[in-house]
């Protein structure tokens, strides 16, 4: 499923125009490319954190230190922010 199909299957704001939909798809594609380029540990940290667990729980699941979790998440989020242009 490509971005346009993904967006079409989601409930979207009816006030958005086609250019805004395209912008959303481009942003998703850019951010997904950043996530895909992360090492597996960075991807796993982001995924788990997005699901809600705290750092301690993530460290237990991934069997890495709290310090490593902090560094991985910080670096991963910084990359996403840069890719988003903020």
Domain annotation covers residue 84: yes
Domain annotation covers residue 31: no
Q: Sorting pLDDT into bands at 50, 70 and 90, what band is 86?
A: low
Domain annotation covers residue 6: no
For residue range 32-76, list pLDDT tens digits in order. Answer: 999 999 999 999 999 999 999 999 999 999 999 999 999 999 999
Contact 24, 7 (CB under 8 A): yes
> What is the sign of the dihedral through the CA atoms of 6, 9, 10 and 11?
positive
Structural domains counted in the chain = 1
Domain annotation covers residue 65: yes
From the number of C-beta atoms within 10 Å of its C-beta (0-12, 13-18, 19+), residue 72 rates as buried
Domain annotation covers residue 4: no
Domain annotation covers residue 27: no
Range of the domain at 72: 40-86
Angle between helices 66-84 and 55-62 (to 10 degrees): 110
pTM: 0.72
Give the integer Cα–Cα distance in Å for 68 and 74.
10
């Amino acid at each position: 499923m490509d971005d346009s199909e993904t967006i079409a299957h989601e409930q979207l704001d009816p006030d958005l125009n086609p250019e805004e939909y395209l912008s959303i798809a481009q942003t998703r594609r850019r951010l997904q490319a950043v996530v895909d380029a992360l090492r597996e540990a960075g991807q796993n940290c982001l995924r788990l954190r997005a699901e809600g667990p705290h750092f301690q729980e993530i460290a237990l699941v991934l069997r890495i230190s709290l310090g490593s979790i902090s560094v991985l998440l910080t670096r991963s989020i910084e990359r996403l922010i840069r890719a988003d242009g903020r």
